[in-house]
Amino acid sequence: MFMGEYHHSIDAKGRLIVPTKLRDDLGENFIVTRGLEGCLFVYPKSEWDKIISKYKELPDTKDRRYFMRIFLSGATICELDKQGRINIPGPLVQFGNLTKECIIIGVDERLEIWSRESWDKFISDNESNLSEIADNLFTTSVNS
């Protein structure tokens, strides 16, 4: 399970250090793709395979096709270099608005990569609602 918040800088070539604590769980090859809310998602290969299997079971609807086009067209297989960095392709750097300071967060089965500005805005926009969100989630799951 991935968790924690890590602050690192991305360089002009799109290279970003992955924290040592997270490297083993990512594995040798992993997938980076467009995420939701303006961040990038990073999946170990085993988790990526589970996601793709679930998507293949969905009915062929317009929403499925549109989502898969955007989700898969941005996906790239990555590996760590000798310094523990990943090289994020230009289109994904642009999508995530990654300029200098980046935040890498662990979110259970995946990592998310955020620009510092986007992460700060996400936190400030949602922090006051956290109690309500938690109540809705846990009340719904208890009543299910």
The whole-angstrom separation of Cα 116 and Cα 106 is 15
Say what the pLDDT of residue 136 is.
Answer: 84
The answer to the question of residue 125 being in a domain is no
The answer to the question of residue 144 being in a domain is no
Say what the pLDDT of residue 135 is.
Answer: 87
The answer to the question of residue 94 being in a domain is yes
- Strand 85-87 vs strand 76-78: parallel, antiparallel, or unpaired? unpaired
Best CA proximity match to 10, nearest among 80, 101, 77: 101
Helix (H, G, I), strand (E, B) or coil at 16: strand
The answer to the question of residue 50 being in a domain is yes
Best CA proximity match to 42, nearest among 134, 89, 85, 104: 104
Provide block-wise average pLDDT over 10 residues at a time, the chain (144 residues). Answer: 96 96 93 96 96 92 92 94 96 96 97 97 89 82 56
* Residue spans of beta strands (DSSP E) within the chain: 2-9, 15-17, 30-34, 40-44, 76-78, 85-87, 101-108, 110-115
Any idea what the CATH number is for the domain that residue 48 is in?
A: 3.40.1550.20
The answer to the question of residue 131 being in a domain is no
The answer to the question of residue 110 being in a domain is yes
Say what the pLDDT of residue 143 is.
Answer: 58
Range of the domain at 112: 2-116
The answer to the question of residue 141 being in a domain is no
Say what the pLDDT of residue 21 is.
Answer: 92
Say what the pLDDT of residue 130 is.
Answer: 84
The structural domain count of the chain equals 1
